[in-house]
Amino acid sequence: MHFYGDGPSDDLRRCYVVLTLFCGLLVLALSLLDALAPAGRPVAKIAGVDPPCYFGIAHSLLFDRDFDLTNEFEHVPPQDRLWTPVQKATMRPGSPYAIGYSLIAMPLLLGGTAMDALTGHAANGYGRFAIFGYSMTNVLLVGFGMVAMFTFLVRACSSYWSTEKRVATVALFVTFAIFFGTNVGFYAYSPMAHAATFFWATLFLAWWWRIKSDTSVPRWLLLGLMGGMLSISRWQEIWFLGAPLLLDMLEKRFRLTQGAWLRSRAAYAVVALACWIPQLLEWKSIYGRYLTVPPQASYDFRFPPVRVLQVLFSSCSGWFFWTPVTLLGVCGLVYGAAKRRRFYWPLLAVIALELCVIGSMRTFWSGIDSFSARYLTSCVPLAAFGLATVLLSAPAFWRNAAVACTVCFVVFTCLFMVQFRLDLVPRNERLTVAEAFGDKLHLLRVKSRKAAVMSAERDIKNSNFPSAVQTLEAAKAAYGEDRDVLGALVSAYRAAGRAAEAAGAEHRLQALLNSRLM
């Protein structure tokens, strides 16, 4: 099977048609989800801590042609101004986030604004269609990223595992497993930079595989552009830029055509560095210096990376815990490296270096309000290649076991996604066994219990303590205890003057919290 040369096969054409239709469904789903507003939250919105900064830079560049977010924060203020206070050097609000996502979102923000103007709404970049267009950016990035990832998997696996006749089918299976079994699908509908890192990483991998043995300067210029945009979408992605050079070293490619190799790789590095010019200009405009360390980085990073195990295995957004299909993928990369395939080593090196950076964050290693380890979304395509490797090259027993595990893991993560979207699982907290596993089988019961707790909290706020106690005791009898029920019971019992019952509920709550997983 060949992706290029004689043209794509019928199997590949069918797969691309399926992916194209799925991209259309993603666009339709944004409209439906925005209208349904699960948990009372419209999807097309700009809210939280990070999103107003990303949106603000895109809006300010389009409408004010500067990096001053004063106007933008008046319309869309961040929920927390810890990282965005006015800087003494410039008297402008801070923006400690990478600029790449803002740049790639500008065209759709502009398109949405034009639609506002055509429909008689204010064309100021804050209208209904402007926000919807901006939100559409991530949907399209994830859709195009899935196509690029599928292309990469077909190219790479057809080369390494050429005796396998089902490469296209396996690549399509893995592509959908990655969407539903990792946080890629989740961040397609969240105004954060992670969809951009997924998109650029998949594009980078697909193009790199095609030109890795080439010395064409124009082709390596394009790879440098992709890698540069990836690195300014989240700064730790700069490790990706070293992967092609590491592969060249492992394969001793620079010894064969030294002059041509040097020119192409130099062009690659120059373009990648040039992509940082907008970032340097933003830092100069906001912080008064071309080179700076944003405040959250200087506050939180401490070497050595002692949080690596938590990043991977913690029930608080751990990468392998929340999205276990990535564990299969990383095992596949190790398996490929053990088979003496040099291409796997740079991919493992990128993941290891990313883990070192995130594991060095003492406070924010979990990502804060993160579905799985959102900082590692760029590494998901690498895990996809590892998973495809297992499904194409492992012995039959292990291949079948991997398929079964993948399906189970995808279902597990999808249920996690529902819990997270509907606020049925605690955020930024380690989970109990019931919260992590058992509650997934009883989502309606958990939702009813959550509604009962919210009703009781309203009664407590209105000093209707007997009603709150009655509601909570009924919820405990019908749906069982959890941390929310017990916590509300402690407050209700105390407010009602029932000290003994409050002490008992507090004891059971503490026992429950002590049983939390890693």
Final residue in a domain of this structure, among 79, 107, 132 = 132
Alpha carbons within 13 A on the beta-carbon side of 288: 8
Min mean pLDDT across 43-57, 217-231, 295-309 is at 295-309
The angle formed by the CA atoms of residues 328, 334 and 335, to the nearest 5 degrees, is 85
| Contact indicator for 324, 412 with CB cutoff of 8 Å | yes
Mean pLDDT, residues 19-46: 86
Final residue in a domain of this structure, among 132, 165, 190 = 132
pLDDT, tens digit, for every residue of 388-436? 999 998 888 999 999 999 999 999 999 999 999 889 999 999 999 999 9
**C-alpha distance from residue 322 to each of 21, 280, 319, 426, 490 (Å):** 28, 35, 6, 13, 30
pLDDT tier, 139 (very low <50, low <70, confident <90, very high otherwise): very high
Q: Are residues 368 and 222 in the same domain?
A: yes
Average pLDDT, the chain: 91
Residue 229 has pLDDT above 70, yes or no: yes
Q: Is 84 a member of any domain?
A: yes
Range of the domain at 443: 433-514
Q: Are residues 90 and 155 in the same domain?
A: no
How many angstroms separate the CA atoms of 318 and 312, rounded?
Answer: 5
Q: Are residues 360 and 476 in the same domain?
A: no
Q: Is 3 a member of any domain?
A: no
**What is the number of domains present in the chain?**
3
Q: Is 243 a member of any domain?
A: yes
230: Cβ contacts below 8 Å, ≥ 6 apart = 100, 197, 200, 201, 204, 237, 240, 378
Please report the pLDDT score of residue 279 as a whole number.
96
Final residue in a domain of this structure, among 78, 113, 132 = 132
How many angstroms separate the CA atoms of 389 and 11, rounded?
Answer: 19
Please report the pLDDT score of residue 2 as a whole number.
41
Please report the pLDDT score of residue 37 as a whole number.
75
How many angstroms separate the CA atoms of 29 and 10, rounded?
Answer: 29
pLDDT tier, 6 (very low <50, low <70, confident <90, very high otherwise): very low
Q: Are residues 123 and 231 in the same domain?
A: no
Closest CA to 54 of 98, 84, 91, 92: 98
Residue 186 has pLDDT above 90, yes or no: yes
Residue 125 has pLDDT above 60, yes or no: yes
Q: Is 428 a member of any domain?
A: no
Encode 67-122 in three state secondary structure.
CCCHHHHHHCCCCCCCCCCECCCCCCECCCCCCHHHHHHHHHHHHHHHHHHHCCCC
336: Cβ contacts below 8 Å, ≥ 6 apart = 160, 343, 344, 385, 386, 389, 393
Q: Are residues 257 and 365 in the same domain?
A: yes
Please report the pLDDT score of residue 159 as a whole number.
83
Please report the pLDDT score of residue 328 as a whole number.
97
Mean pLDDT, residues 359-379: 91
Residue 164 has pLDDT above 60, yes or no: no
pLDDT tier, 4 (very low <50, low <70, confident <90, very high otherwise): very low
Q: Are residues 84 and 220 in the same domain?
A: no
How many angstroms separate the CA atoms of 123 and 415, rounded?
Answer: 40
Q: Is 247 a member of any domain?
A: yes
**Torsion angle of C-alpha atoms 13, 15, 19, 25, degrees rounded to 10:** 100
| Contact indicator for 204, 242 with CB cutoff of 8 Å | no
pLDDT, tens digit, for every residue of 467-478? 988 999 998 999
Q: Are residues 237 and 381 in the same domain?
A: yes
Please report the pLDDT score of residue 70 as a whole number.
95
| Contact indicator for 48, 78 with CB cutoff of 8 Å | yes
Q: Is 69 a member of any domain?
A: yes
pTM of full prediction above 0.85: yes
pLDDT, tens digit, for every residue of 234-268? 999 999 999 999 999 998 876 656 788 899 999 99
Q: Are residues 167 and 216 in the same domain?
A: yes
Q: Token match 């909570």: residue? A: 472
Q: Are residues 309 and 178 in the same domain?
A: yes
pLDDT tier, 331 (very low <50, low <70, confident <90, very high otherwise): very high
How many angstroms separate the CA atoms of 288 and 274, rounded?
Answer: 20
Min mean pLDDT across 175-179, 239-243, 316-320, 393-397 is at 393-397
Exposure letters 258-270 (e unless 16+ CB within 10 A, then b): eeebeebbebbee
How many angstroms separate the CA atoms of 399 and 394, rounded?
Answer: 6
Please report the pLDDT score of residue 5 as a whole number.
40
Mean pLDDT, residues 359-370: 89
Residue 99 has pLDDT above 80, yes or no: yes
Residue 297 has pLDDT above 70, yes or no: no
Q: Are residues 103 and 223 in the same domain?
A: no
Residue type, 238: I
Residue 127 has pLDDT above 70, yes or no: yes
106: Cβ contacts below 8 Å, ≥ 6 apart = 58, 61, 62
Q: Are residues 380 and 444 in the same domain?
A: no
361 forms bridges with which residues in the sheet? 301
Residues of the chain with pLDDT > 90, as a percent, come to: 73
| Contact indicator for 424, 447 with CB cutoff of 8 Å | yes
Closest CA to 100 of 139, 64, 57: 57
Q: Are residues 346 and 467 in the same domain?
A: no
How many angstroms separate the CA atoms of 311 and 375, rounded?
Answer: 10
Q: Is 2 a member of any domain?
A: no
How many angstroms separate the CA atoms of 132 and 420, rounded?
Answer: 22
Q: Determine the 3-state secondary structure of 361 from DSSP.
A: strand
Q: Is 156 a member of any domain?
A: yes
